[in-house]
Structure 1
Amino acid sequence: MRKFIVLFLAMATGLFAQETHMVVEAYSGKVLSASGASTKRPVASLTKMATAIVAVDWATATNTDISKQMVQVPAIAAQLGASSVGLRPGDTMTIRDALYAAMLSSDNVAALTIAHHVGTHILSVRGRGGDPVMAFVAEMNKLSKAIYAKNTLFVNVHGLENGPKPGYSTAADMARFAIQAMRRNAINFIVRQESRQINVSGRSYTLKNSNEMIGEEGILGVKTGTTNAAGACLAICMDRDPVVRTKPDGSKGVTPRRLIVVVLNSPDRYGNSRRYLRSGWAFYDSWLAAGAPVKDPKREILTIPPVK
């Protein structure tokens, strides 16, 4: 209880006024730049990266086709207020379209709808009763532990600060979630779209990606977020062509390159992210050219699970 009180007071009194950030190369885990990256703070809709990962992993585990499986907006969605894409209790759509709404338009009702559907299935399989949305949130927190995001606590699936206790994460942990999200082909494809048309109960909506950097060279996603407590937040993924080198034995070695930038409570999330990307690439390429030396792994490398 004490840590929640401290966190709440910190948010209320502005102790989290400064931007925190993390820049990391996604394949090597090499940390290229960081400030306050382990500071716990609200992360707004960056939360939905975890929501999407749990949903997509559930679909994979249950052999569910997200382009065909329908979900229904639950009655409890009315508690969240207006949906950014006009979703109403009783509306139906595919999981894929709900993911588009949650990730591109950052729609809170869409995120809740996904969680309610998946959570209901999880409880049913386990032969348990209870709140399906909180069962889904429990899976999000299990995911946190699995990817070494030890400074993260999720209390809902959308990132709003509307509950009795605040959720929190860090720039470093959000970088871990961004890396994991972009390892999932379905999420990778969704978040790189500039716009997308979805169908909801026979109504058609055209969604525009809330991330203004989408369309810039190499930018693949991943998520925006803004609340009063969290400030302006952004997670960005950028790829460059792999580095191809000739090994001593004459064979070719290929090193893929992907940068992840996370900024929390930023006064200029897009401008600063572009600046971090430029400096990050310069640092990474010189580090790689020098043979990728690592003196202190605990400080220089972000721990991330290997690709399965």
Structure 2
Amino acid sequence: MKIKYVMLIVLLLIVQLIYPTKGQAAPGVSANNAVLIEKSTGRVLFEKNAHNQQSIASITKIMTAIIAIESGKMDEKATVSRNAIYTEGSSIYLEQGEKMTIRDLVYGLMLRSGNDAAVAIAEHVGGSVEGFAFLMNEKANWLGMNNTHFDNPHGLDSDSHYSSAYDMAMLMRYAMENAEFREITAAKSYKSEDRTYSWQNKNKLLTQFYEYCIGGKTGYTKATGRTLVSAASKDGMELIAVTLDAPSDWKDHMGMFDWAFDNYDMESIVEEGPVKFNLINLDESAAGYVRETLNYPLTDEEKKNLTWKNYILNNLNDLEKPDSTIIGKTVFYLENEKILETPIHKDNPEPERPNFISNLVSFYQKVTGM
């Protein structure tokens, strides 16, 4: 009897390992500050002191990189100053007077965390380190990074240079919308034409430890400790994790990612297409069109508690106005808390296609100059 009982326990353990159940407890982290978000919606899946202002070290360079990329100067060559080469900390060993493209400098910035590259970028794109810091803060304000202030482009310690785990996740979320940034942060190595050797990415989560990692940025100073921003993608879900002052940051990130991938699915809660709504207290219905498909990260239990309400314009005569396309909205709730909404349009107009006569008239006008 005892043997059968032991065999049953062993069998249950094996099944648990092969088919783990969802609903595991949130992961523990070594970090003083941490956050995990789903990229497309920005939903916070896990947080720990996520809004506290803290020193952030070299993850600062995510902001430096995205400003450089968006400047339109990636193919321009920057002349390296004395100020750049004497910047303390990690370096790509630039020489005074050397000329290097902003693109190469951004790769050196992101893969090798070059502080000299950060200053060279700042001086070329912003005119000076101070001018570039102004651009960084303007961008932070625009992104709603309310617990952030930048003093420099590299992240060396300063009393007024800080951010929060949540703000840095929002920055990474924004940056990952840029195709060139995604390509750079995902690069495991890069060789500049001005170097005889390749730069290897310091982000071991990308290069060694985690197969689903698609990018990120490391950081460290003695005063700040280890900081890390990373992104991972699996089964149609993209996650962003941030840890500040984390002795075991690689483990923290892998634990958060695995927990979220095991417990959440990207659920399609509304799909593009025609919809019809019954109007309350009226013997009428309204036809509409949803112009986007919306997905949202949900656990199995949350899927059961998802509700929604349709709100239609009070004045139905507004539906006849030619300049009115939105007739209402659908609002989604999770346990009575609003999480998402999407507009309802009265139709889905297709682009107007010029007919044969209009094409002929246009051709005649071009030929005759009329």
Check whether the contact 2:90–2:112 (CA below 8 A) recurs between aligned residues: no
Greater percentage in helix = 1
Aligned equivalent of 2:147, options 141, 148, 151: 151
2:54 aligned with 1:73: no
Aligned equivalent of 2:42, options 20, 25, 29: 29
CA distance in 2, matches of 1:36, 1:153: 18
2:247 aligned with 1:280: no
Aligned equivalent of 1:208, options 194, 197, 200: 200
Count of aligned pairs between the two proteins: 249
Is the partner of 1:273 in helix, strand or coil? helix
Is the partner of 2:264 in helix, strand or coil? helix
Alignment partner, residue 184 of structure 1: 178
Change (3 A) 1:141 1:240: same
CA distance in 1, matches of 2:96, 2:116: 9
Alignment partner, residue 11 of structure 1: none
- Where do 1:93-172 residues align within 5 Å? 93-120=100-127, 132-161=128-157, 163=158, 165-172=159-166
Greater percentage in strand = 2
CA distance in 2, matches of 1:181, 1:296: 32
Alignment partner, residue 249 of structure 2: 269
Give the aligned residue type for 1:186: E
Question: CA offset at residue 53 of structure 1?
Answer: 1.1
Question: CA offset at residue 297 of structure 1?
Answer: 6.3
CA distance in 2, matches of 1:269, 1:46: 13
Question: CA offset at residue 119 of structure 1?
Answer: 1.0
2:46 aligned with 1:54: no
CA distance in 2, matches of 1:92, 1:294: 55
Alignment partner, residue 232 of structure 2: 238
Alignment partner, residue 329 of structure 2: none
Give the aligned residue type for 2:242: V
Change (3 A) 1:26 1:267: same
CA distance in 1, matches of 2:142, 2:335: 26
| 1:192-237 CA-partner distances (Å, limit 9, x unpaired) | 111111133xx42311101001143221111000011221111110
| 1:112-137 CA-partner distances (Å, limit 9, x unpaired) | 111100012xxxxxxxxxxx221111
CA distance in 2, matches of 1:169, 1:41: 6
Check whether the contact 1:287–1:293 (CA below 8 A) recurs between aligned residues: no
Change (3 A) 1:33 1:101: same
Change (3 A) 1:219 1:293: farther
Is the partner of 1:198 in helix, strand or coil? coil
CA distance in 2, matches of 1:288, 1:53: 33
Change (3 A) 1:281 1:293: farther
Question: CA offset at residue 148 of structure 1?
Answer: 0.9
Structure 2: tracts of 5 or more residues without a match: 1-29, 266-296, 307-331, 341-370
Change (3 A) 1:284 1:210: same
Question: CA offset at residue 186 of structure 1?
Answer: 1.0
Change (3 A) 1:43 1:33: same
Question: CA offset at residue 92 of structure 1?
Answer: 1.4
Give the aligned residue type for 1:136: F
The runs of at least 4 aligned residues of structure 1 exceeding 6 Å deviation read: none
CA distance in 2, matches of 1:169, 1:74: 28
Higher RCO (CA < 8 A, seq sep 6+)? 1
Check whether the contact 1:72–1:93 (CA below 8 A) recurs between aligned residues: yes
Q: What TM-score do the two structures reach when normalised by structure 2?
A: 0.63
Give the aligned residue type for 1:73: V
Is the partner of 2:71 in helix, strand or coil? helix
| 1:139-168 CA-partner distances (Å, limit 9, x unpaired) | 11011111111100000000001x5x4311
Is the partner of 1:213 in helix, strand or coil? helix
CA distance in 2, matches of 1:210, 1:83: 11
Structure 1: tracts of 5 or more residues without a match: 1-16, 121-131, 243-256, 302-308
Change (3 A) 1:148 1:296: farther
Percentage of matched positions with identical amino acids: 32
Question: CA offset at residue 284 of structure 1?
Answer: 2.7
CA distance in 1, matches of 2:168, 2:48: 14
CA distance in 2, matches of 1:297, 1:223: 34
Question: CA offset at residue 83 of structure 1?
Answer: 5.4
CA distance in 2, matches of 1:173, 1:204: 38
| 1:49-77 CA-partner distances (Å, limit 9, x unpaired) | 00011111111xxxx4x2x3211111211
CA distance in 1, matches of 2:233, 2:89: 36
Alignment partner, residue 319 of structure 2: none
Give the aligned residue type for 2:181: I
